[in-house]
Amino acid sequence: MINKRSFARPASAGARPTSRFGAKPVRQFGGGKPAGHTSSFSRSAKPAGGSHFVVGAKKTFGARPASSAPRSFSSKPSFGSARTSGGSSSHSARPSFGGSARPSFGGGKFNSGSRPFRKGGGHRSGGSKKRGFSERIDYSRFVKKAQHVEEKPYVAKHTFADFPFNEQLHKNIAKKGFANPRPIQDQSIPTVMEGKDVFGMANTGTGKTAAFLLPLIENISKKKKSGVKETVLIMAPTRELAMQIDADFKDMAFGLGIFSVACVGGLPIMRQISEIRRGVSFIIGTPGRIRDLIDRKVVDLSACHAVVLDEADRMLDMGFKDDMTFILAKAPKERQTLFFSATLSPEIKKLTTEFLKDPVFISVVSGETAKNIEQDVIRTKTKEERLDRLHEVLKQEGTDKVLIFREMKHSVDTLTKELTHLGFKVGAIHGDKRSRERIRTLDLFKKDFITILIATDVAARGLDIPDVTHVINYDIPQTYDTYVHRIGRTGRAGKKGTALTFVPF
């Protein structure tokens, strides 16, 4: 699915040609323009399932005559209605106005401390589906010295032995190496086991997955023994997070005779359908693929009495609101609903009032950014200088495991080729990569077979990647919240981390 961009044209612009995709007219650039205006537009087809395109555009606006009609910019989906899953998108590039990497409208100037950004990403592209400008981010917010202060350990009210889990589940917990519950686990597990709705707020990487998986596994296991068949639906914003939750489930539910299926785009849907028909207790996936399976009448939520939305705020950012609402409406009204989120936006509040009944609010959110992450900026003037400075950073001692974030998918591929050419062991993930390839690349990075992973924001939330020493924002994040989630991939489990952000002079 691509975005069709339409502009108001002056009456003198001439006749509009017909698109080869159908009877609808398309914009033809280069003819009948006001004086001082030049533009170019290119579109190249990229086969990926038969409906994906790569769009690239560059425009230069010159002086507009006073008599010309005002221009309007609009964006809407076109060329079919194919739905993607797991946050993937067919967009590989965004238009650039005035030849710069990010647009500036209305003659605004950048100052040394802040800069306007345009929100990127379309529907399910990993960014907001609303177009416009992102927040202004003061570059000084990217600079913060690590405090190297050991925080007082959280004093849990319970131990895992205190929770009334069955013997096999306790064995699985011990095998996972869990000793004392983390704050979100300590406070959520007893409430979830009581069957109450929960809205949990916690920083990324604080153990939310076990906080809802363990009590739900116990509840479903008990009901199965008593002959009651129920299912649990767990939704996550990205394929990677859904697959990670499914892997955690398999470890925690080992030997209990209950099974799961991971329903994500990019993996064979017929295999997922086959597993569902054989009988599963947990359906874990992305909203797009789950809705596809509901439409195919494969997934029946009439017996689903527990629904979990993990990283709910991220799902809204990625444009999954309609799918989430549709899916929740298919589940029984008398159900247990669990929302877990890192933030509490107005849209999240609205969803909680609509779908949660007398929820227990649990918040264990700590400060904006981890105290043990050294944060700094690197100022560069040109693309060549930026690559040279990155090369210098990657050669430094102690730069052992690096996660580099870029805004655009094609930019990820470009930087991957450049660093591979320089001799680094590099992998890349983004929405246009096949699921199997993304899973394999993440596994290689986790096991240190590759030392550098370049990614879009599909890797910014929820993923548990151990021992990342450096997070590098090669492109400036669109919002400060995105920045916080990105750098949260390092400095985990009390270890020191480094976050570097490349900014222009």
Last residue of a domain, one of 321, 341, 363: 363
List phi, psi (to 5°) of 180: -110, 145
Q: Is the pLDDT of residue 186 over 50?
A: yes
Same domain for 280 and 186, yes or no, is yes
* Three-state secondary structure call for residue 484: helix
Which residue in 194, 275, 355 sits closest to 283, CA to CA? 275
Is 315 within a domain?
A: yes
Is 47 within a domain?
A: no
Residue of higher predicted confidence among 474 and 14: 474
Same domain for 340 and 477, yes or no, is no
Q: Is the pLDDT of residue 464 over 90?
A: no
Residue of higher predicted confidence among 466 and 273: 273
Question: How far apart (Å, rounded) are the C-alpha atoms in residues 468 and 494?
Answer: 12
Is 240 within a domain?
A: yes
Query: pLDDT class for 55, splitting at 50, 70, 90?
Result: very low
> Residue range 483-505: average pLDDT?
85
272-283 pLDDT, tens digit each? 999 999 999 999
Same domain for 279 and 393, yes or no, is no
Same domain for 335 and 455, yes or no, is no
Q: Please give the mean pLDDT across all residues of the chain.
A: 76
Question: How far apart (Å, rounded) are the C-alpha atoms in residues 37 and 10?
Answer: 13
Name residues whose C-beta falls within 8 Å of residue 275's C-beta, 6 or more positions apart in sequence: 259, 261
Q: Is the pLDDT of residue 128 over 70?
A: no
pLDDT at 130: 39
Question: How far apart (Å, rounded) are the C-alpha atoms in residues 452 and 400?
Answer: 8
pLDDT at 150: 53
Same domain for 355 and 411, yes or no, is no
pLDDT at 135: 60
Residue 442 tokens, joined: 């993440």
Same domain for 274 and 204, yes or no, is yes
pLDDT at 29: 41
pLDDT at 313: 83
Q: Is the pLDDT of residue 442 over 80?
A: yes
> Residue range 392-404: average pLDDT?
93
> Residue range 288-293: average pLDDT?
95
Q: Is the pLDDT of residue 166 over 90?
A: yes
Query: pLDDT class for 94, splitting at 50, 70, 90?
Result: very low
Instruction: Outline where 279-320 has alpha helix (H).
Output: 287-295, 312-317
pLDDT at 484: 84
Same domain for 326 and 398, yes or no, is no
Is 128 within a domain?
A: no
Same domain for 416 and 399, yes or no, is yes
Is 124 within a domain?
A: no
pLDDT at 82: 41
CATH code of the domain in which 282 resides? 3.40.50.300
pLDDT at 323: 93
Is 90 within a domain?
A: no
Is 173 within a domain?
A: yes
* Three-state secondary structure call for residue 168: helix
pTM of this prediction?
0.60
Task: Specify the range with the lowest mean pLDDT, choosing from 206-220, 402-416, 471-485.
Answer: 471-485
Residue of higher predicted confidence among 118 and 470: 470
Which residues form the domain of 256?
160-363
Question: How far apart (Å, rounded) are the C-alpha atoms in residues 234 and 239?
Answer: 12
Name residues whose C-beta falls within 8 Å of residue 41's C-beta, 6 or more positions apart in sequence: 27, 29, 57, 59
Last residue of a domain, one of 363, 395, 423: 363
* Three-state secondary structure call for residue 356: coil
Same domain for 189 and 251, yes or no, is yes
Are the C-beta atoms of 17 and 25 separated by less than 8 Å? yes
pLDDT at 226: 86
pLDDT at 422: 92
User: What domain count does the chain have?
Assistant: 2
pLDDT at 369: 55
> Residue range 228-253: average pLDDT?
93
Query: pLDDT class for 110, splitting at 50, 70, 90?
Result: very low
Same domain for 317 and 465, yes or no, is no
Is 473 within a domain?
A: yes
Last residue of a domain, one of 323, 347, 363: 363
Query: pLDDT class for 493, splitting at 50, 70, 90?
Result: low
Same domain for 376 and 357, yes or no, is no
Same domain for 354 and 411, yes or no, is no
Question: How far apart (Å, rounded) are the C-alpha atoms in residues 200 and 359?
Answer: 10
Sign of the torsion formed by the C-alpha atoms of 291, 295, 296 and 301: positive
9-45 pLDDT, tens digit each? 444 444 444 443 444 444 444 444 444 444 433 344 4
pLDDT at 485: 80
